Amino acid sequence: MNKKSRTTTWVLALFLGAFGGHKFYLGKVGQGILYMLFFWTLIPGFIAFIEFIMFAAMSDREFNIKYNHYYRGK
């Protein structure tokens, strides 16, 4: 298992979010494909920007609990 990085995730959400880059990185391939199919509607870009803000505001602990399921840190 590869540990996912919160910083990498929010950078991908900011720059490649409209195409689902952050979804593929987090292992949510189905959602990433939907983002790619509908990027032309600009809706995935808007959602990715909101997710970028959420990832940037999230603490490392919250991120690890949600996306790094093996994490047992404090």
Q: What is the DSSP string of 13-44?
A: HHHHGGGTHHHHHTT-HHHHHHHHHHGGGSHH
Global pTM value: 0.88
Position 69 scores a pLDDT of 79
Q: What percent of the chain has pLDDT over 90?
A: 81
pLDDT band at 2 (very low <50, low <70, confident <90, very high): confident
C-beta separation of 55 from 6 below 8 A: yes
Distance CA 37, CA 33 (A): 6
pLDDT band (50, 70, 90) for residue 1: low
* CA nearest neighbour of 1 among 27, 40, 24: 27
Write down the mean pLDDT value for the chain: 92
**Domain residue ranges of the chain, discontinuous segments joined by +:** 6-67
pLDDT at 18 over 90: yes
Name the residue with tokens 């979010």. 17
